[in-house]
Amino acid sequence: MDKSYYLKKHGYFLEDLKINQEAHYKKKISENDINLFSKVSGDNNPIHMDEKFARSSIFKKRIAHGFLSGSLISTVIATQLPGPGSIYLNQSLKFLAPVFIGDTITAIVTIKKIEIEKRKVNLLTECFNSKQKILTGQADILVSKKKDFV
């Protein structure tokens, strides 16, 4: 195994992480995002896909898939904190408000607990539309120790 290859590509190691460390990712949700997410996920609920149907809903227009916003959390975890090489163990999500086409969503993950022995990090996971929290949850992530690669 070429350890230098893995070291160059790896995100944070367990020893590099700190409580309350955070990272974020921001994305404007487009109609194309919703259409693509529907195709990839197979979720073609008309509340997401059909404007006429959605007008009769409590939201009065199409809403984005909840897991589209949730997937932005995965983006932060996989690319920034802890980053490449980390492994998702579990995720809880509570959806608090709808997301509409044109909304800009910011996903934020914050380290709340580090379990060195278990190589596990607990994250607070949240998404915001401007200052309004639209999603909250927690995730447990498996993170490598640096000594495993050095």
Task: Identify whether the C-beta of residue 61 lies closer than 8 Å to the C-beta of residue 51.
Answer: yes
Per-residue pLDDT tens over the stretch 98-130: 999 999 999 999 999 999 999 999 999 999 999
The model carries a pTM of 0.93
3-class DSSP string for 102-132: CCEEEEEEEEEEEECCCCEEEEEEEEEECCE
The CATH architecture assigned to 3-148 reads Roll (3.10)
Q: Do 106 and 75 meet the contact criterion of CB atoms below 8 Å apart?
A: no
C-alpha distances (whole Å) from 45 to each of 1, 53, 59, 65 are: 46, 10, 14, 9
Distances (CA, A) of 55 to 36, 50, 69, 148: 21, 9, 21, 55
Contact 146, 3 (CB under 8 A): no
Tens-digit pLDDT profile for residues 18-49: 999 999 999 999 999 999 999 999 999 999 99
Domain boundaries, the chain: 3-148
Q: Is residue 121 a contact partner of residue 12, using CB atoms and an 8 Å limit?
A: no
